[in-house]
Each structure stands twice: as C-alpha cells, then as structure tokens.
Structure 1
Amino acid sequence: MTAPFRLAVIGMGKIAHDQHLPAIADSKYFELAAMVDRRGQAEQGVPFFGSVEDLAASDLEIDAVAICTPPQVRHDIAQFALERGWHTLLEKPPGATLAEVVALRETAKDRERTLFTAWHSRYAAGVEPARKWLANRKIVGAKVTWREDVRVWHPGQDWIWQPGGFGVFDPGINALSIITHILPHPLFVVKSSLAIPANLSAPIAAQVSLRDRLDVPVEMDLDFRQEGPQHWDIEVQTDAGVLKLGSGGAVLSLDKAEVAEDASELRGEYPSIYRKFGAMIRAEVSEVDVSPLRLVADAFLCASFEVVDEFHE
C-alpha cells in the first residue's frame, strides 16, 4: 500500500477547522503533517509554524499543502510552495486575481507539481447528477439565489470587505462554480449591479445577468443581508421541467420531486476534494479552472455601482 502524502494546512481559519481537518483525518491519501498560521498554536500534537518560510526551514518532510488563507495573500504562498516542490491545493477562490492563478498554473507546469483549484461546491451531492440530467435537455433559463447572513457565516472576517476580498462574491462564486459545471455552454456577463457599503470596499449585494452563446439567460441574486431563512438555490428551466439544486447543491429535485441520492457513492464535498487531489498527485496531473473567477472579474468590469448604508457587525 502506498504511504499517504504528508500534508500541511496553511491558514487555520474557520474553513480549515470545519472542513479540511476532518476530511484529512478520514483520508487514505493524506496525513496531517503540519499547520501554518500567523496566529494560534499547535493542536492535536501536530507541528505548528508561524509562516510557510518557517515550515520550509524546519527538517519536516512535506509532500503537499492545502492553502486556506484569504485570497489576497494566497499567490505568494502558493508560488513558494510550488517552488519547494510541494503539490498545492487552493481553497476557493483560488486567488485575488486571474493573473495570479494563471501564473501559478505555469509554475506548477514548469515544476511538474500538481496544482488543484478546489471548487468544493461542485462536489455537493446533487451537482453531478444535475449536470448529467441537463446534458440532454433544452435549457430555457436559470436563476441563482444566494442570500445569506454575513454575520452568521463570516463573523470577524474583515478581509472579505477589503480589496481582493470579493464581498458577497465569496459565497457567490460557489454558485458560479456549480452553474459553470452543470450548464453545457460557456457563460458571459451581460450586466451587473453591485451594492457597496459606504465604509467598505467590496459589495454586500449583487445582481448579475448572464447568458450563454445560445442566448439562454441566467440571473443571479446575491445578498449578504439575508435574515431568517437562508437561500443557496439554483433553478434551471428546461423543456422537460424545472431542475432545482437546493442547500448549495446538496439537494436535487425535478419538478419539485426530490431525487434520492445514490447511497453507493461516497459523499461529502471535502472528502471528495481530497480523494481527487490524492488521485491527481499520483497521476501527475493538475486541474486549474478559472471560469468561476473569470465571471466574478467580468461582473466587476460590467458593473454599475451603488453606495449603500454603512455595514457594521
């Protein structure tokens, strides 16, 4: 049996603790070899370092890293890791800009290392069945509703409001990662409207109109100010009825009838990510998909801007 890859998690925030660490603990491909963060301390008896440079200067052997930092600092860390010969997984969004991610792709190719842009929402239980069902249908239109309470889901995450922090597009890009996967044709931004709080630098809400090359319309409604029920839904109108993905892609229904999951398949977004990352390393391949990030960039390029009331947690 092949020994598991020795993995370091870089950026020990909420997503690392809630999702990455449990998935790594259950993975046959990886063992947790180190944690890296500017703050904090060692946990679970795992070596802890204050920077990726400190990790590299140690005598610890590392095969791969999972980078879970805010996107604004991700490129330099990933570039350093790839130059060290470490296979690299990038949490979403994979970088603060398209140019950064494209440059990392070239570094990975030159260094013959695996680089994986891990769009976790694509591994939700309903997404792949939805893609297969839509492949043979005529699509009439689609509606994305991604409305959540930022105080609940992103408490204390000041980086999300800074330039390069994406604002409401931080969760919204999850919807784009799903829609670009399940629809058969590329999407283009037609227009967008971004609402930006007077005291911040990133949008708290967005309305985005897209179309594909067949002029099929896709409308997006993103909002960080949602109270009460939260919405992470995608509806696709087809000639064979309405497909809906609810709960961020976890629940698939066709004309309001829920489709049962295939219990024979292993489930879970992050366990699926680590299975794929491990298999990619062994196969010596990369997967660098920038299509969701490109649509976010285009939404900013095509935007009209509205200054709204200040936002404070």
Structure 2
Amino acid sequence: MRPICLVGIGKIAVDQHVPAIAASPDWTLAATVSRAGTVDGVPAYTDFAQMLAERPDIDTVSLCLPPVPRYDYAAAAIAAGRHVMLEKPPGATLAEVQALAAMAQDAGVTLYTTWHSRMAKGVAPAKAWLADKIITAAHITWKEDVRRWHPGQDWVFAPGGMGVFDPGSNALSIMTEILPAPVHLRQADLSFPANRDTPIAAELAWTGNVTGSFDWRQTGPQSWDITVETTDGTLALHDGGAQLVINGADVESGPDREYPALYDRMAALVKTAASEVDITPMIHIADALTLGKRHVVDAFDF
C-alpha cells in the first residue's frame, strides 16, 4: 500500500477521510499534520515543512484544510515532488487552483480536485439518463444546518470561506456533472448575516430555466435534492445524490462510498502521474459572488 499524509485533522477528516483511507487497499495513513488533531497510532506533525523534510517516503498528501490556507500547503507539497489531493472546494480562488495545476504539470505530479458528491450512487446513472434528454427545467434545494456540520467553525463565514457555498458546491458539482449542456448564472440574491462576510443563504437562477435555493439555517431534516424536468419525464436526486428516482420509480440507491471512491480515483491517477482538475463548480460560486445582490439578514452566531 502507498503511504499518504492527511493534513488538517478536523471534522471532515475524522468523519470521512480517515475511515476511507483505513478501508482502502491502496493507501496507508503514514502521517498527519494538524495544529491540534491527531489520529490514534499515526505519527503526528504540527509543522508541514518538517513532515515533508523528514518523510520522503510519503509521496502523496491529502489536504483537508479550509480553502484559504490550502494553496500554500499544496504549492509546498508540489515543490517537494508530492502528489496532492484537494478537499472541495479546491481553493479560495479560481486563479490559485489554475496556478497549482500548472505547477503540478511542470513537476510531473498528480493534482486531484475532488468533488465527493459526484461519487454519490445516483449521479453517474443520472448523467447517463439525461445525456440525450431535452431539459425543460431544473431546481436545486440544498438546505442544511451549519451548526450541525460546521460547529463553531467561524472560518466558513470569513472571507474565502464561501459561506453557504461550501456545502452548495456539492450541489453545483452534481449539476455540472449531470446536465448535458452547460448553463451560466443570470441572477443571484445572497443573504449575508449582519455580522458575517459570506452568505448564509442564496437564491440563484441560471440559463436553461435552472434555479437553486441554498440555505444554512435549516433545522430538522436536511434537504439535498436536485430535480430535473425533461420532455421524457422527471428525474430526481435525493439525499445528496445517493438516491435516484426517475418518473416516480426508485432507480438507484446505495450506501455512502463517496470518499472511498475518491481515494480509489486518486490511486489510479497517481499510478500514471495524471491530474484531474475541474473548477467548474467554483466558477458558479464566483459568478454568484460577483453578480449577486446583497441582502443583510439577522446576525448569526454558533
């Protein structure tokens, strides 16, 4: 198995990355880097440069840091000849991800911008079914409780944290994967808490009669749904893409293997030093933040 270092031992790393690596036939968790978090039985570093210097045996790094500091870590890893896997969204800006792609190409290493929701059970068959369909309308409903998924993580509301578009990027990654033709944003209404720098909710409208409702204030059941109307009927993805329903019939559903599938894909890419860099979902976020009308709403605190 190939040694990998996991950087940023927070909630998403503990909940998803660590179990996925542990179950993988391709990877072994050989080190972690984090200011405070650790994984039992795994050598832990607090300094990334020290890990790179002391562990030349580890040629792959998976970065689970927030988007803003991620570029510096990725650039250092690439400069040290390491393959790099980026948690979504892959960076704080489009330009820095493009720069990393160029660095990786020059260095001959893999750069993989992961979009875990694309690996949900229903996404691939949804894409296949829609491939030859005429789309008449589509709507995204992506509403969840930020206190549940990002407890106390103020960085999500800081510049570069993207606010509701952090989880919203999951929906956008599915939308851009399954629609047979690209769409572009025409209108956006963004709700900013009075004490925060990124939006907590958004209403978006694209070409092709595609709309989206995003909200981080949802309590109770969480809503991760995409509905696509076609001249041949209706397709719906529920539970973040895990369940596919076509014309009322349950076509595909299954257990969550999103993160294991990401590590499977990373292993395949590293074998040939190939890269997979897709910033399409980020383009829609950037467009929303550029085009969006700002609405100030009640202050938000964890």
Report matched runs for 1:73-84 at 5 Å. Answer: 73-84=69-80
Which residue is 1:141 aligned to? 137
Aligned residue identity for 2:245 = S
Q: 2:265 aligns with which of 276, 287, 310?
A: 276
| 2:300 is the counterpart of 1:311 | yes
Q: 1:97 aligns with which of 78, 93, 98?
A: 93
Which residue is 1:290 aligned to? 279
Structure 1 position 26, deviation (Å): 1.2
Q: 1:11 aligns with which of 8, 11, 32?
A: 8
Q: 1:247 to 1:64 in 2, by over 3 A?
A: same
CA–CA distance in structure 2, aligned partners of residues 16 and 206 of structure 1: 27
CA–CA distance in structure 2, aligned partners of residues 255 and 114 of structure 1: 40
CA–CA distance in structure 1, aligned partners of residues 252 and 183 of structure 2: 29
What is the DSSP-based 3-state SS (H/G/I as helix, E as strand, rest coil) of the residue aligned with 2:184?
Answer: strand
Which residue is 1:224 aligned to? 216
Q: 2:147 aligns with which of 148, 151, 159?
A: 151
After TM superposition, what 4+ stretches of structure 1 lie above 3 angstroms from structure 2? none
Specify every segment of 5 or more residues in structure 1 that has no aligned partner in the other structure, as ranges.
none
TM-score if structure 2 supplies the norm length? Answer: 0.97
Aligned residue identity for 2:289 = F
Figure out how many residues of one structure are paired with residues of the other and give that number. Answer: 302
Q: 1:97 to 1:281 in 2, by over 3 A?
A: same
CA–CA distance in structure 2, aligned partners of residues 195 and 54 of structure 1: 42
Structure 1 position 59, deviation (Å): 4.2
Q: 1:307 to 1:260 in 2, by over 3 A?
A: closer
TM-score if structure 1 supplies the norm length? Answer: 0.94
Which residue is 2:17 aligned to? 20
Specify every segment of 5 or more residues in structure 2 that has no aligned partner in the other structure, as ranges.
none
Contact 2:237 2:245 in 1 (8 A): yes
Report matched runs for 1:1-313 at 5 Å. Answer: 4-41=1-38, 43-59=39-55, 61-211=57-207, 216-261=208-253, 268-313=257-302
What is the DSSP-based 3-state SS (H/G/I as helix, E as strand, rest coil) of the residue aligned with 2:41?
Answer: coil
Alignment RMSD (CA, Å) = 1.3
Describe the superposition over 1:65-87 as per-residue Cα deviations: whole angstroms up to 9, x where unpaired: 10000001000000000111110
Structure 1 position 137, deviation (Å): 1.0
CA–CA distance in structure 1, aligned partners of residues 203 and 30 of structure 2: 43
Same amino acid, percent of matched pairs? 48
Aligned residue identity for 2:284 = L
Structure 1 position 5, deviation (Å): 1.7
